[in-house]
Amino acid sequence: MSKSFIYKSSFVYELAMLLLYGRHYASRYRAIAELIPEGSSVLDLCCGPALLYHRYLRPKSVKYTGLDINANFITRLIRRGGGGQVWDLRNDEPLPAADYVIMQASLYHFLPEASPIVNRMLKAARKQVIIAEPIRNLTTSNSGLLSLLGRMFTNPGSGEQSLRFNETSLADFFSAYRSRVVQSFPIAGDRERVYVLSASPANL
């Protein structure tokens, strides 16, 4: 399946993210990296060009594995010393185990029913699941042109996805995991929200 232009190369992807997030670009990665202790094992779902690893996690000596549907991204990740696998998360294959299982700005790809992927993340995590998800999106713009561009440029190879979370719908979604949520906070100038879930329910 054809993918959006920004997924054609790591350079184009990073440029698009830089334009999208502006001065908040680096902080959205730092916020996640700060949650990962040194020497941990990390599984990064929909890792893209693995900027989180290359820029922020590598110095912490983590054991990193990135999963992505884009073979070019995974090849580059492995070539640069990281671990990675080409992986289509739409199948129900169990995920590799890791201390921390991460997903950045990709949960919307699994709408309208994203619970199965979160449940698989929880099964794979030994310590925590960390999900950062946009709550302000181009696709929800009142401008028809911006909305169209948002849909066109967010197809990683699995198809366009017009559905997105907003702050309320994301909070409603994670209310089903309230026994596991240990913290939640905004990042990237309030454009994204992070949810940190314990691998075990808090009341156990």
pLDDT band for position 154 (cuts 50, 70, 90): low
Distance, in Å, from the CA atom of 158 to the CA atom of 201, rounded to the nearest integer, reads 32
pLDDT of residue 203 exceeding 70, the answer is: no
Task: Please tell me the distance from the alpha carbon of residue 86 to that of residue 78, in angstroms, as a whole number.
Answer: 11
pLDDT digit string (tens) for 45-87? Answer: 999 999 999 999 999 999 999 999 999 999 999 999 999 999 9
**Domain extents in the chain:** 5-198
- Greater confidence (156 vs 102) lies with 102
* Cβ–Cβ under 8 Å, residues 81 and 59: no
Flag the least confident range among 44-53, 152-161, 190-199.
Answer: 152-161
Q: Does domain 5-198 have CATH number 1.10.1740.10?
A: no
**Whole-number pLDDT of residue 145:** 42
State residue 172's pLDDT score: 98
pTM for the model stands at: 0.82
Tell me which of 95-99, 149-153, 172-176, 180-184 is least confident. 149-153
Q: Does pLDDT of 92 surpass 70?
A: yes
| Cis amide bond preceding 112, omega within 30 | yes
